Amino acid sequence: MFFRSGINSAVLKTTKRHFAKTSSALQRAARERADNDARRVPWQRLLEARNRYIDWQEFYLWVRSILEVEHRVPAWLREVLDDRCPGFLEEEGRAAERPTTKRPLHLSLEDWIEDKVFGATKREGWFNAIAYYATRDTRATRKPKVAGRNA
């Protein structure tokens, strides 16, 4: 009953408006930053890197889903990771020996991909443009297909 009062309704409306304005401002700032970063490279290189980023994100999400279901790294996945991400599991093995390391493997994989695959673009200052445009690509936003049906 307390939440249905006129005062709380007004506060809720004000909060929603404030959130919408803030969200718009953040989206605009992200777009401007991505546009500025994108100007650092030829568009063909940006397009190629964006497509590669989407491919790696698909791989990352695939690995993450397996890890979340299996709660371990199956032998066959270990082979795939060794092939696509040479050195990753060895680095993680050394990190796992330290008692303070309790970070989920999929988060470490995400960092590995950003650092090893896209490290040059980070150093050159245009990685944010890749990530920004990739998340707005139809490949990144479509629903996955499962057994020939839309999920």
Return the domain boundaries, the chain: 40-143
Average pLDDT over the chain, rounded to whole? 83
* pLDDT at 6 exceeding the cut of 50: yes
SS3 150: strand
Region of residue 42 (left: phi > 0; alpha: psi -120 to 50; beta: else): beta
**Is residue 100's pLDDT more than 50?**
no
* Residue pLDDT, tens place only, 56-65: 999 999 999 9
Amino acid identity, position 97: E
Mean pLDDT score, 106-122 = 96
Tens digit of pLDDT for each residue in 65-92? 999 999 999 999 999 999 999 999 998 8
